[in-house]
Amino acid sequence: MSPSLQFGKPLASRTTPIPGVVLFDLPVHGDNRGWFKENWQREKMVAAGLADFGPVQNNISFNETAGTTRGIHAEPWDKFISVATGAVFGAWVDLREGSSFGSVFTAVLDPSTAIYIPAGVGNAFQTLADGTAYSYLVNDHWSAQAQHLYTFLNLADPTVNIAWPISLKQAELSEKDRNHPFLSEVVPMKGKMTLVLGANGQLGRALKEFFGADPTVHYATRADLDLAGPEPFADLDFSRYGTVINAAAYTAVDGAQSPSGRAAAWAVNATAVAALARACTEHRITLVQISSDYVFDGTLEIHGEGEPLSPLGVYGQSKAAGDVAAATTPKHFIVRTSWVVGDGNNFVNTMAKLAAKGIKPHVVDDQYGRLSFTVDIAQAIGHLLVTRPSYGIYNVTNTGPAQTWASIAADVYEHLGYARGDVTGTSTAAYFKDKSGIAPRPTHSTLDLAKLEATGHTPLLAQQRLAEYLSAWSEA
């Protein structure tokens, strides 16, 4: 038994100089017979600050003598490391690409301590007692093929200058570990990528603008992945990604009412999302799924995240099914939005073109909601991914009072120098009179933003963003 072993410590976490590496104190209960501890208890440890990293394999390394030294190995999976018997001097070096590359942390681990090591952080240990058993949980299955994804660092690297308790000249270590490269020769391990689906759509273009030249963000268009196909993700290597933003959707609200449109809407908005959610669950990926106000019947004037789904038409039904599928993956943000405006065909763009042609339109004045500019949706998604509040549904629109389509159209005309009176209001029933294949619309589409704002993010006023959008439209 380690002489430093402490009984009765409360479960607690401690941060370290390496981002994501967390040291834990473990409660150990002992008496004359020996000791007992809960080495891994998901509920308690997640509450104490451990990432819910989903371990799938438990490995034990038994070491005969003190001075046995192993490492430094950075692996493509997360690890929760502890000691069953004996004690080790642990050393960890950040070998991930980024500003913390080369950061070092060391600590002595005995049965009353444990440490969480994210993928890409180099791990090494030296035993301090004979008969030491070193245990670790990992969240991916080891395979010989995975070894080419490892990154290694020499135990004696002078740059990181680890103060090994037992000289490496006297320690027991493998010839392979003696010959690993020094830090100056190490190629940093790249982090997980972000994949954006639907990259050519309005939101996809806004996400491209938001992420800019970030090389860790990849984009896929319909030409790359046909979500209406039978196996849209068959050739996609999900192991490369830590986040998938699904901005792809079948959005022809009226087209979905036709036989072919119904099949396409369900294939893209529901079936493909279910397959995506399964893959994200398997690979522990965070899924950002874009939802719609059409999942509600519009009876309530303001819709909260917890309102039961009540879609009216096929489009809304397929989107609601996609929401349910997306929610099955543990790490999900369902971003529910409405009345989307961005770079492409949308209501504001249409009204601006009508105004420029001198057309005085009749516009529906009995549907209520808020505009959602794609630049603000992209910013909200970025905020959720950086701050990581509780997973779940988040309403995202621009702020301000609810408006009708007619009042928004009048705003467009006024911003462009035309008379508000050029827009005439009309009822939904009158507007679609004598038209077939029209999907039912929710009367009220205003979304409650309190949950998003509680995370520290408040989108811009719709009126302000509209003015900016139309200013750019005028200059184009």
Please state the domain extents for the chain.
Answer: 12-185, 193-475
Distance CA 314, CA 312 (A): 7
User: Using one digit for the tens of pLDDT, what is the confidence trace for 229-267?
Assistant: 888 898 888 888 999 999 999 999 999 999 999 999 999
Q: Look at residues 162, 196, 188 and name the one whose alpha carbon lies nearest to residue 289.
A: 196
Look up the CATH number of domain 193-475: 3.40.50.720
Catalytic residues: 73, 136
Q: What per-residue confidence (pLDDT) applies to 4? A: 60
Residues lower than pLDDT 50 in the chain: 1, 3
Fold of the domain built from segment(s) 12-185: Jelly Rolls (2.60.120)
Region of residue 131 (left: phi > 0; alpha: psi -120 to 50; beta: else):
left
Is 214 within 8 Å of 191 (Cβ atoms)? no
Angle at 202 between CA 326 and CA 411, to 5 degrees: 115
Q: Is 0.85 surpassed by the pTM of this model?
A: no
- Amino acid 192: pLDDT: 87
Residue 239: what pLDDT?
A: 83
Virtual torsion, Cα 89, 22, 47, 113, nearest 10 deg: 10
Report the alpha-carbon distance of residue 95 to residue 150 in Å, rounded.
10
Residue with tokens 């479960």: 11
What is the DSSP secondary-structure string of 320-381? HHHHHHHTTSSSEEEEEE-SEESSSS-HHHHHHHHHHTT---EEE-S-EE--EEHHHHHHHH
